[in-house]
């Protein structure tokens, strides 16, 4: 693996001894997400408006759904075996899964110009301390390396701690994330196309709130790019 620190290598070595690598879905040894399972991922055949599900080009927001987002590009359905892989990456701290997950997604970025700027949904500090990494940032970093797109990890920051979105209904989700983000550093993004990377999209509220802040920096188009749609 590239760009691994000595500490990461030692950690991985020890983890391999204590917990031999096996596929998160079928249990096959020596791989985290085996090819057979990867072949079962249900990739999206069409892209849709993230809010009303109407079929649109590249997942553009349709004219009747107003949003700061230009659109949300989704790679796959949130179904097995991808569901378990994302869940394990996010909640069971199997950080090494980031490579397998990014592998699934990066070819889709070829649909966008290379001058697109990648960023990620910022983690809330409590989550970051607990998990030790921002799962969206790790993915975005690999996607940037594969595509040659620029990656600005700190475009945004969280401004307040909020209730985890998973506990709320659709309407509450939009209310909850309002004003949850702000510019991480002062940047002029005039005329730029920005893509916010995250693992999942559900209501689209988080991505919408992020896009709102990025527009204020001058970006002309703000896309979301996610591994899967959870609905
Ligand atoms: Zn497998
Ligand atoms: Zn729509």
The per-residue pLDDT for range 60-74, each reduced to its tens digit, is 999 999 999 999 999
Domain for residue 162, yes or no? yes
Cα of 50 from ligand 2 centre, angstroms: 7
Q: Do residues 119 and 156 lie in contact, with contact meaning Cβ atoms separated by under 8 Å?
A: yes
Cα of 74 from ligand 2 centre, angstroms: 15
Domain for residue 167, yes or no? yes
CA angle 122, 6, 100 (to 5 degrees): 55
Q: Do residues 165 and 173 lie in contact, with contact meaning Cβ atoms separated by under 8 Å?
A: yes
Cα of 165 from ligand 2 centre, angstroms: 21
> Token pair for residue 129?
């301390």
Domain for residue 54, yes or no? yes
Domain for residue 94, yes or no? yes
Q: Which ligand is located closest to the Cα atom of residue 61?
A: 2
Residue in 141, 162, 149 with CA at minimum distance from that of residue 205: 162
Cα of 56 from ligand 2 centre, angstroms: 9
Cα of 104 from ligand 1 centre, angstroms: 15
Instruction: Specify the CATH number for the domain of residue 135.
Output: 3.40.50
Cα of 76 from ligand 1 centre, angstroms: 17
Q: Interhelix angle for 170-177 vs 205-216, to 10°?
A: 30
Domain for residue 188, yes or no? yes
Per-residue pLDDT tens over the stretch 10-28 = 887 777 777 778 999 999 9
Q: Which domain holds residue 200?
A: 43-229
pLDDT surpassing 60 at residue 158: yes
Domain for residue 93, yes or no? yes
Residue 216 φ then ψ, to 5°:
-60, -25
Domain for residue 172, yes or no? yes
pTM of the model: 0.89
**Quick one: pLDDT at residue 1?**
47
Q: How many domains does the chain have?
A: 1
Mean pLDDT of the chain: 91
Cα of 139 from ligand 2 centre, angstroms: 27
Cα of 132 from ligand 1 centre, angstroms: 26
Looking at residues 102-109, what average pLDDT do you find?
91
Q: Which ligand is located closest to the Cα atom of residue 21?
A: 1
Domain for residue 6, yes or no? no
pLDDT surpassing 60 at residue 33: yes
Q: Which ligand is located closest to the Cα atom of residue 49?
A: 2
Looking at residues 208-216, what average pLDDT do you find?
96
């Amino acid at each position: 693996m590239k760009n691994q620190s000595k500490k990461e290598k030692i950690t991985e070595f020890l983890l391999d001894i204590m917990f031999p690598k096996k596929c998160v879905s079928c249990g096959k040894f020596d791989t985290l997400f085996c090819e057979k399972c990867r072949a079962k991922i249900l990739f999206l055949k069409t892209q849709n408006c993230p809010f009303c599900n109407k079929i649109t080009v590249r997942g553009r927001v349709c004219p009747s759904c107003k949003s700061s987002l230009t659109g949300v590009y989704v790679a796959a359905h949130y179904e097995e075996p991808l569901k378990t892989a994302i869940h394990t990456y996010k909640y069971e701290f199997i950080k090494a899964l980031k490579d397998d997950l990014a592998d699934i997604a990066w070819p889709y970025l070829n649909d966008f110009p290379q001058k697109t700027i990648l960023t990620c949904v910022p983690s809330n500090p409590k989550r970051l301390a607990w998990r030790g990494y921002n799962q969206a940032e790790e993915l975005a970093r690999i996607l940037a390396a594969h595509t040659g797109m620029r990656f600005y990890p700190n475009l945004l920051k969280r401004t307040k701690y909020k209730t985890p979105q998973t506990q709320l209904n659709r309407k509450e989700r939009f209310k909850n994330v309002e004003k949850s983000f702000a510019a991480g550093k002062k940047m002029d993004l005039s005329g730029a196309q920005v893509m916010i990377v995250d693992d999942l999209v559900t209501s689209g509220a988080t991505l919408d709130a992020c896009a709102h802040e990025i527009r204020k920096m001058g970006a002309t188009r703000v896309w979301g790019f996610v591994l899967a749609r959870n609905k």
